[in-house]
Amino acid sequence: MSNTNKKIQVAILFVAACLGIALPAHAATDEAMAKRARSVIESIRAATRPVRDLSCTLQVRQSGNESREYLQNRIRMFEIGKQRGLYPDARADEEIAKLKKTLETLDGAEKVLEVSQWKMRSDGLFHTVNKLTNPDGTKRITELGYDGEELRWYDPAFNRGSVSHTVRKNTDTPEFGWAVESEPFANFLERALKSGSIEISDEPNVGNEKRLKIVAVTPTDRARGDQKVPVFVRIWLNASRNYVPIRIEEGHAIGPVGDWIVGKVTTDIVCKEIVAGVCYPISCRYEGVMIGNLADPDQPMEKWKLAAFPSTVVVKCELSDIKVNQGLKKEAFTIDFPAGTIMMKLKD
C-alpha cells in the first residue's frame, strides 16, 4: 500500500494481530443460502468475463487528516512498548519521532497520492508502474509485475529488485469497485463461504433494477499473513447491471453484530460501459475511521480494547485512458531487470 500512514486503513495494532479472536458464533451458512451464494459468486465472475484484458491510468487523491487522537494513541503505544521491552529502543524512538512530526504537519488539503499505469488480464496477470508522492512531497516510481509465474518488483531509483511467488497487489488497483482491499469480491466471498459466513438478501428494486445486499465474514486466516482478525463486508450490488457495486462497507466482525466496527465505506461509485453490456466502476470515494488498540499503561497489551478513532480522510480513485481486449501477451507483464540490479531476498 502506498503512503499507508496517510490513507484510510483498517489499522489493527500489535495486540490484535497476536490475538486469536474467534469468528462470531452465529456465523453458520445453511445449504439454501450457500447454494444462492455460489450462484451469485458465479454471476459476479461472469459479469466481467467479457473483459479479457484492461489497461488504464489510475489516479488516487486524498483530502482530510487522520485524527490527532489516533496519532497520539500510536505514540503512547510505542512509548509503552518501549518501556516494556517489546520494541527495540531505536525502532520505538524512530516511530515516535515520525508520529510527532506528522502531528506537527497535518495538512488536509486535497493532493494527488498516486498516478499509476496498469495492465491487467482476467487470469490474474498484471503490471503496474506506480508514481507515488511521499508525505514530504518527494516522488517515487516503482514497478510491479506478475506474469503467472513470478511476482517481480523493481525500484529504478536504487536499482533494486525482488522476485516472489506470493502474489500481492497494491491496495488501490483498477479493481477498486470489485474488491475487498485488493482481493476480488468473488475470491473473498468464496473464502467466506468455505470458512466463514454469507448472507444474501433482496433489496427494494429501484425502477426496474434488482438490488442485492451481501454480508460476508471471513475468519482469522494466519496462512494469508494479512488478515489477523475476522473481517466482514456489506456489499450492495445492482444485479440488473452486471452486478456492479453500489456501496461497500468493510470492517471487523468482533463480538455481537451490533458491535462490529465499520472501518471503510466506499460510495459515489460511477460506472461506465467499457464492453457492450459490461459496466465497470471507473471512480469512487472512500472514507472511514482509524481502528486501533487503545493504549492503556495499566493493562497488559493482550487486554487492550479496540477503539475507532475519527478521521476526516477522504480518498478518491479514478480511471482514465481505459483500453480493453488488446490481446495482451504474457511478455507484457514481465519485468526485465537491468544489468547490475541489486536483488533483495523476500520470504514467500
pLDDT value at position 177?
85
Residue 42: all three cell numbers together:
458465479
User: What local confidence, expressed as pLDDT, does residue 220 receive?
Assistant: 59
CB count within 10 Å of CB 229 equals 21
* Kind plus residue range of the DSSP H or E element containing 240: none
Q: How far apart are CA 318 and CA 294, in angstroms?
A: 34
The pTM assigned to this predicted structure is 0.80
Q: Determine the pLDDT at residue 152.
A: 95
Contact 12, 251 (CB under 8 A): no
Nearest-angstrom CA–CA distance, 251 and 33? 22
Cβ-proximal residues to 121 (8 Å cutoff; 6+ apart), any chain? 52, 53, 328, 333
The Cα–Cα gap between 29 and 194 comes to 10
User: Mean pLDDT, consecutive 10-residue segments, the chain of 348 residues?
Assistant: 42 38 53 94 92 96 87 93 91 93 83 94 94 80 94 95 84 86 87 91 93 88 54 92 93 75 91 94 91 88 84 93 97 95 81
Q: What is the DSSP letter of 193?
A: H
What is the structure's pLDDT at 225? 52
Residue 148: other Cβ atoms inside 10 A:
13
Bridge-based pairing of strands 126-133 and 160-164 is unpaired
